[in-house]
Structure 1
């Protein structure tokens, strides 16, 4: 059985440290990332990697509750942007049979207008 809680924690830790190679290795090539509050979707690991590499500001993530079962996990984490703005959010993870992440859905505290991103990176619905 896959330890999805440990993998979800590793996902947040490698994202926080910007260890892009280790972070990308946790996901399938066709991973899907969604943020319902901003109605944004990214299909594919390369686009998701670019999204995070180019996200504006200096951000920090600190997980404090991580729960997982055989195919899913959730992380409740605090975030901080540019050393001042802060809040809580949750990320829900789905895994394939090999223990790779196939989908990440982030829920932030409230709807907001996303920052400008490179053309063609994000699909809005």
Structure 2
């Protein structure tokens, strides 16, 4: 399997293992020294066990579905549909894989909706 196919497969397995709360499978996808970052909150988690525990302990009724997965070499980008209780969100996730095919870095963006600045209504359409 080439790097791009492996990255795509790892991305789908990552989301599926989180959605299924399959912690052993998630653990098997991650490098020992995986780094997880959330730029909006400037939080970082280092290490496989800490990352798995973070997800296993995460509160609420949350669900993930991959809407789009793009892979290039040993990297993958995911656009996720996220549901937390009744709230729906989008998430953008970047994965980096090591030479062994394990996920070494996860960068998780949670874009928040906001009202656009005035003055460009003639160029845009709101939905």
State the TM-score, normalized to the length of structure 2: 0.83
Q: Secondary structure at the match of 2:8?
A: helix
Q: Offset of 1:93 from its aligned partner?
A: 0.3
The total of aligned residue pairs comes to 110
Question: Is residue 51 of structure 1 aligned with residue 47 of structure 2?
Answer: no
State which of 12, 16, 29 in structure 2 corresponds to 1:13: 16
Query: Relative CO higher for 1 or 2, CA cutoff 8 Å, sep ≥ 6?
Result: 1
**What are the ranges of 5 or more consecutive residues in structure 1 without an aligned counterpart?**
112-125
Hey, what does 1:38 align to over in structure 2?
41
**C-alpha distance in structure 2 between counterparts of 1:103 and 1:110, whole Å:** 23
Q: Secondary structure at the match of 2:14?
A: helix
**C-alpha distance in structure 2 between counterparts of 1:101 and 1:58, whole Å:** 25
**What are the ranges of 5 or more consecutive residues in structure 2 without an aligned counterpart?**
114-127
Hey, what does 1:87 align to over in structure 2?
89
Hey, what does 1:27 align to over in structure 2?
30
Q: CA RMSD in A?
A: 1.2
Structure of higher CA gyration radius = 2
The C-alpha deviation readout for 1:4-59, integer Å capped at 9, x for no partner, is: 01111110001100000001100101000000001110000010011001101010
After the TM superposition, which parts of structure 1 deviate over 2 Å for at least 4 consecutive aligned residues?
Answer: none
State which of 71, 90, 104 in structure 2 corresponds to 1:102: 104
The answer (yes or no) to whether the contact 1:27–1:101 under 8 Å persists in 2 is yes
Which one has a larger percent helix, Structure 1 or Structure 2?
Answer: 2
**C-alpha distance in structure 1 between counterparts of 2:100 and 2:13, whole Å:** 16
Q: Offset of 1:109 from its aligned partner?
A: 1.3
Q: Secondary structure at the match of 1:30?
A: strand
